[in-house]
């Protein structure tokens, strides 16, 4: 069993839709949770990161963490064609001052069509 599971999709939605991307994990040591966006032929770009259970909002993006269920989500409101990319969840057990090794999900391919 993989430590982090993410539905690879692909996910296709119309412009303006609310998108929900999800990951589950099995390692209770994971304390920090990140979402990265990766455009074709580019490196992953950090979108959001959080430590606590609950919601964290940044513009059209909301990251949600439920540590009791080992489940995290990223919601995108009013989705735009420019949001079309692969979305990767990542997790860290973080010891000390460094996040150290990030364990990634497989990535979800999202297409937002006009």
Partner 1 sequence: SAVISQKPSRDICQRGTSLTIQCQVDSQVTMMFWYRQQPGQSLTLIATANQGSEATYESGFVIDKFPISRPNLTFSTLTVSNMSPEDSSIYLCSVEDALGQPQHFGDGTRLSIL
Binding site for partner 1 (CB under 8 A): 6, 32, 34, 36, 41-46, 49, 88, 90, 92, 97-102, 104-107
The least distance separating partner 1 from the CB of residue 60, rounded to whole angstroms, comes to: 20
Which tokens hold the place of 38? 């990766």
17 versus 102: smaller Cβ distance to partner 1: 102
58 versus 114: smaller Cβ distance to partner 1: 58
Burial of 52: CB neighbours in 10 Å, binned 0-12, 13-18, 19+: exposed
76 versus 90: smaller Cβ distance to partner 1: 90
- Residue 30: which of 78, 100, 107, 106 has the closest Cα? 100
The least distance separating partner 1 from the CB of residue 35, rounded to whole angstroms, comes to: 10
27 Cβ contact partners less than 8 Å away, ≥ 6 residues apart: 3, 91, 93, 103
The least distance separating partner 1 from the CB of residue 65, rounded to whole angstroms, comes to: 14
């Amino acid at each position: 069993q993989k430590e982090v599971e993410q539905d690879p999709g692909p996910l296709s939605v119309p412009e303006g839709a609310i998108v929900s991307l999800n990951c589950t994990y099995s390692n209770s040591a994971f304390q920090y949770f990140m979402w990265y966006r990766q455009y074709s032929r580019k490196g992953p770009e950090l979108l959001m990161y959080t430590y606590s259970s609950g919601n964290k909002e940044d513009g059209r993006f909301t990251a949600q963490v439920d540590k009791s269920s080992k489940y995290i989500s990223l919601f995108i409101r009013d989705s735009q064609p420019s949001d079309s990319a692969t979305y990767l969840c990542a997790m860290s057990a973080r010891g000390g001052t460094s996040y150290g090794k990030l364990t990634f999900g497989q990535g979800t391919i999202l297409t937002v069509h006009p």
